[in-house]
Amino acid sequence: MWNGYEGICEITSVTNAQNETYWNDLKLQEALRSGIDEALSLRKKEMKKQLFKEVANQTGMIFYENTLTLVWARRFAGYKRANLLLRDFERFINLVENSKYPIQIIWAGKPYPEDYAAIDIFNDIYWKTKYIDNCAILTGYELELSALLKRGSDIWLNTPRLYHEASGTSGMTAAMNGSVNLSIPDGWIPEFARDKQNCFLIEPAETQDPEEQAKIESERLLALLEDEIAPMYYDNHHEWLSIVKQSMRDVVPFFGANRMAQEYYDNMYSLAGTNAKPTETKTVRKIEVV
C-alpha cells in the first residue's frame, strides 16, 4: 500500500490476542493443571451440556455431550465460507449420518443486514440442515452465546479463503476452552499451529480460482473429519485429549492480551510524541490486563 513513498515511518505489526481472564473457564483450567484427564473430560461434558440447553431453546434439537461436536461461529461473510462443509452435500449427509462416528454440527452468527450474499449463505445452510437432527443453526453471536459455543465445542471450524482472514481471534478463545482448531492456515493460525499436535490444518489449494479452491478445500476438510478427526475422537481418546491439552497450553500466554498490550506499549505508544528511534532502549512499566 505504501510502496514507493519516502519519509514514512516504519510499518510493523502486533499480533492480535484475547483476554484469557475473561474467556477462560476456571474449572477447565484447574483440570488441565491437575493432570487428571478424567477431570478435564468431565468438565468439558458439563460445558457441552450448557451449550446444548441453548441449542434446544433456539431450535428444539437435542444434542448429546458424548458426541463429537463441531462449531462454525462468527460473522457471516462470503470469504469466511460458512457453507464450505456443505459443498459436496451427498458426502456431507454421509458424514452426519455415520452411526459409528456420529458428529453434531452447529453454525452461529449473523450477516450484516445489507450483505445479501452472506444472508443467502445463512439461509442456504438453514434450509439444507433444517430437518437433520444433529445439525443446528443459531442466531446471534453476542458475548454470552459466543462463550457457550467456545466452551461447548470439541472442534472450532475456520474456513476462510486463504489470505482473506484478518486475525480470527475466536479460535484463540476456543483453544483456551478445550476446543481444537480445524482451520485453513490463515490469520493467527500460522503463528500457533502444529498440525495434529495442537490443531488440525486444512491444506490450502494451490489454485487461485475461488470455485476450484472451494471444491478442493471442501474435499480435504471432509476427508480430515471422516478419516482422522472422528476416528481419533472415538477410537483413540487419549490421543485426542493430548491435542486438546497441548492446544490449551500453547495458546497462552502469547495469544493473551497481556502480551499484546505490552507490545503496543513497548513498540508503539512509548515512542509517541518523542524523538526516540525504534532501536533506542526505553524503560517502560509493565501492563497487566485484568
Residue 2 domain-assigned (yes or no): no
Residue 250 domain-assigned (yes or no): yes
Task: Render pLDDT for 46-80 as a digit per residue (tens, 0 to 9).
Answer: 999 999 999 999 999 999 999 999 999 999 999 99
Mean pLDDT, rounded, of the chain: 92
Residue 155 domain-assigned (yes or no): yes
What is the total residue count of the chain?
A: 290
Residue 147 domain-assigned (yes or no): yes
Task: Render pLDDT for 177-231 as a digit per residue (tens, 0 to 9).
Answer: 999 999 999 999 999 999 999 999 999 999 999 999 999 999 999 999 999 999 9
Residue 13 C-alpha cell reads as 505489526
Annotate 122-180 with DSSP letters as a single string: HHHHHHHHTT-TTEEEEEB--HHHHHHHHHH-SEEEE-PPTT--S--THHHHHHHTT-E
Residue 10 domain-assigned (yes or no): no
pTM listed for this prediction = 0.91
The residue range of the domain holding 61 is 25-254
Residue 97 C-alpha cell reads as 449420518
Counting the structural domains of the chain, the total is: 1
CATH code of residue 163: 3.40.50.2000
Residue 84 domain-assigned (yes or no): yes
Find out whether 119 and 111 touch, Cβ atoms under 8 Å: yes
Find out whether 49 and 66 touch, Cβ atoms under 8 Å: no
**Residue (of 95, 229, 217) closest to 155 by Cα position:** 229
Residue 272 domain-assigned (yes or no): no
pLDDT, average across residues 116-133: 95
Collapsed DSSP state (helix, strand, coil) of residue 211: helix
